Amino acid sequence: MFKKQMVLDDVILFRTGKPFNTTAVIKEITDDFDNSDDFPYFEVKEYENYYEFVYEMDKDDYVYGLGEQLGALNKRGKEYKLYSTDDPIHTPEKGSLYGSHPFAFIDGSKKFAFMIDFPGEIVFDIGYTHKDLMTIKVPSKDFDFYLFDIEDKYEVIKKYLELTGSPFVPPKWSWGFQQCRWSYPDADTINNIAESFRKDGIPCDAIYMDIDYMKDYKVFTVDEEKFPNFEDFAKNLKKDGFKLVPIIDPGVKIEDNYSVYEEGKENNYFCKDKDGEDFVAAVWPGLTHFPDFLNKEARKWWGEKYKFFTDKGIYSFWNDMNEPSIFYSLKGFNKLVEIGENLRGNEDMGIKSFLAKEQMFDMANNREDYKSFYHRADDGSTVNHDLVHNLYGYFMAKATVEEGFDNIIPNQRYLLLSRSSYLGHHRIATIWMGDNMSWWDHMLVQMRMLQSLNMAGFFYTGADVGGFGSNASPELVIRWMQLGAFTPLYRNHSALGTREQEPFAFDEETKDIMRDIIRLRYSLIPYSYSEYMKSVSELRPFIKPLHMDYEGKRVKEIEDQYMYGDSIMVAPVHTQNAKGRFVHLPGDDKWLCWVASKYDERKMSIYFPGDFYVDADLNEIPLFIKENKLITISEPMNYVGEKEIEEITVIGLVTDKAEFTYYEDDGETKDYQKGKFAEALITVEKEGNEYKFSVEKDEHENPETGETYELAIKRIKFEIYDEHGNIIENTIEI
Ligand code: MIG
């Protein structure tokens, strides 16, 4: 039985029972419900313990959404199990990854969208069992179902974000390049990496610290032997423009006198088993307890722990392993020992170790283990983990931000990556896409996920550039670095035991090409940052699949081209040994093609709509600037904020009128929310054969201090193309 409420125009909430308060939705829901059984679009089937929603798909219906998932952009033809899972083998048939985002769009004979706010497993069978039926199974009688009876996808996303909150804004430096590896084992290694970037003139803004920085993998500790004078080490790197980003794992090592363990145990901050004992699971540190992030007191305790780092000027983190990933539980391990016992005597056949290994894999991330522990929710109730499983990573981020940063560094912007996430996570943090591989296919996987995640509110996200697992060839890393330059999170990461992937880990030519790509990325930051801030304030995705802007089945099938901001369509080369690729240019607009390699080298040509093979040598990536749209570039720097940007160059193909809003703020604090920012409205207009250029400054006043935020740019250069490819140049001092 459902009751319903109109929560926003054309957004109807259908509620059954007493849903767990996931806090995915921040819009206040009143008690003002009507009883109703008229559920549009779906046939609703009620069973003893669950509901099923069945939608009969038209043969031409497309289904988009579900955020972080594998497989095609159009979700039709597969089964998805939304149950957050640490699965490092991202092959196309997999139906569960680290995050759960039950929000989907039907785009076909009927157009609408829906979101199911339920934190346990939801199974989406989208034309898998029966090719034209979508069946969604929610194993509960307590959840919220939001129906967006809206055709336009931008409008749906806007309403979705009005419900769940606008996407978070990381510091400006997070548009810089970021280097990671599991692991840089000690301070010397990290200092050498930093030095190599500067010595080689390769811009870089952040270096990550993976699990080996900790003492015996104990969270909120630093191994002082490997990192002596940690505070000075962090300070010195910062002086040189490098931000350190430590990993944080939730499992707290069981070890007497380790303060995090002692405090958690004493105050009952850990998840409990059915007997009320602290639940034991093995992860990196060995046997651990899991903090109960669903409990406010525990969140507060955890959030304050980040002070250990924020006091040292470190404000950015990656919360890993928070599905939570379990190697094995104590119960599982005891079983294994039994099996081992049974196998005694067979040692020399080698079978014991083999079987044990198989068993170990079976034991990891086991559903029985998830069913065997409990949370104490904020309302005092005890909840079985399995029913709220998909919240763990999101609530860890809430602990980090709402109970941590909001108190200890309230005005500071931060970059917080999390591996696991749920609906609503995007407003306080973001995710990276987890353990991909150095496989060509995974570049396509990244592009699909990037588009889907943007539709789910994760505007700033990205995957491990170059691939995490397995070994990358120089060609693969180059192509991936090109793609990565057009994803918000631009982080190269690789796994322990795999080939090194830093720009200088390869031959000189590869390094030179990678330097040029990274410099191109930095030169585009004035564009990327301006467009990002606009997308957040307008609640329009920053990355857009072509089907968001164009109609027709041709564009709906395009997965490897997307809009990066409103002006650039990017078409990365993502296949082995390719020297170019096919590109579809949609709509009626012409496109200014920039086969880009160096930021200051223009290889431009004008294209009309249609399908083309575009050449792109190993050092080149095809970019298409939309007719009557503009981009802005500047001189690259070693790191974001090294120098003030005083001059930008505006590039575009203008046949009528083009406008661009260039945006500036301090890039580090939340003061922009109080008006501490400035914009320049740049206009290029063609009248007859004449071009008119204008720049209007909009420097805001901070209502609290009365201060005006002044633009740093002083000069705007124009490189405008007409439809014949002629260049019109101009400079305006402002
Ligand atoms: O079990 O910390 O996704 O980025 O390098 C593996 C080591 C744990 C998984 C993360 C990956 C990270 C790795 N972690």
Q: What is the pLDDT of residues 259-301, one digit of tens each?
A: 999 999 999 999 999 999 999 999 999 999 999 999 999 999 9
Reported as a single tens digit per residue, the pLDDT across 183-218 is: 999 999 999 999 999 999 999 999 999 999 999 999
* 723 belongs to the catalytic site: no
Amino acid found at 213: Y
Report how far ligand 1's centroid is from the alpha carbon of 48 (Å).
Answer: 40
Predicted pLDDT of residue 503: 98
Tokens, residue 330:
């104590």
Q: Identify whether 435 is a catalytic site residue.
A: yes
Residue 390 to residues 118, 143, 419, 569, Cα–Cα distance (Å)? 9, 14, 12, 34
Length of the chain counted residue by residue: 734
For residue 106, pLDDT beyond 90: yes
Q: Is 210 a catalytic residue?
A: no
Q: Which atom of ligand 1 is nearest to the CA of 283?
A: 1
133 φ, ψ (degrees, to nearest 5): -115, 135
CA-closest residue to ligand 1 atom 11: 435
CA distance 451 to 431: 14
What are the angstrom distances between the C-alpha of 717 and each of 92, 99, 598, 653, 734?
A: 46, 44, 18, 15, 11
Instruction: State yes or no: pLDDT of 7 exceeds 90.
Output: yes
Q: In what order do the strands lie in the sheet with 690-699?
A: 657-665, 677-687, 690-699
Q: pLDDT tens, 425-444?
A: 999 999 999 999 999 999 99
Determine the pLDDT at residue 621.
98
Distance 320 CA to ligand 1 centre (A): 7
pLDDT of residue 331: 78
Q: What is the mean pLDDT of residues 343-358?
A: 54
Q: Model confidence over 619-674: pLDDT tens digits? A: 999 999 999 999 999 999 999 999 999 999 999 999 999 999 999 999 999 999 99
Tell me what the mean pLDDT of segment 20-45 comes to: 94
3-state SS assignment for residue 312: coil
* Cα 589 to Cα 566: distance, rounded to the nearest angstrom: 13
Q: Residue 161: its pLDDT value, please?
A: 98
Inter-CA distances, 696 with 187, 256, 646, 693, Å: 48, 64, 16, 10
Segment 548-594, tens digit of pLDDT = 999 999 999 999 999 999 999 999 999 999 999 999 999 999 999 99
The H or E element containing residue 660 is strand 657-665
**Percentage of the chain with pLDDT > 90?**
92
Instruction: Give tens-digit pLDDT for 235-246.
Output: 999 999 999 999
Beta strands 591-596 and 621-626, pairing class? antiparallel
Closest residue by Cα to atom 12, ligand 1, is 182
The residue whose C-alpha atom lies closest to atom 13 belonging to ligand 1 is 182
Active-site residue, from 86, 223, 292, 323: 323
Tell me what the pLDDT averaged over the chain comes to: 95
pLDDT at 1: 87
Q: What is the DSSP string of 683-726?
A: EEEEETTEEEEEEEEEEPBPTTT-PBPPP---EEEEEEE-TTS-
Q: In which element (H, E) is residue 103 found?
A: strand 103-107
pLDDT at 434: 98
Per-residue tokens: 158: 């806007």
pLDDT digits (tens, 9 = 90+) for 321-334: 999 999 888 777 77
Answer yes or no: is pLDDT of 517 > 90: yes
- The verdict on the CB of residue 326 being under 6 Å from ligand 1 is no
Kindly tell me if the per-residue pLDDT of 100 is higher than 90.
yes
| pLDDT classification of 349: cutoffs 50, 70, 90 | very low
Exactly one of 121, 320, 566, 664 is catalytic; name it. 320
442 Cα to the center of ligand 1, angstroms: 17
Whether residue 566 has its Cβ less than 6 Å from ligand 1: no
Is the confidence at residue 222, as pLDDT, over 70?
Answer: yes
Summarize pLDDT for 385-397 with one digit per residue, the tens. Answer: 999 999 999 999 9
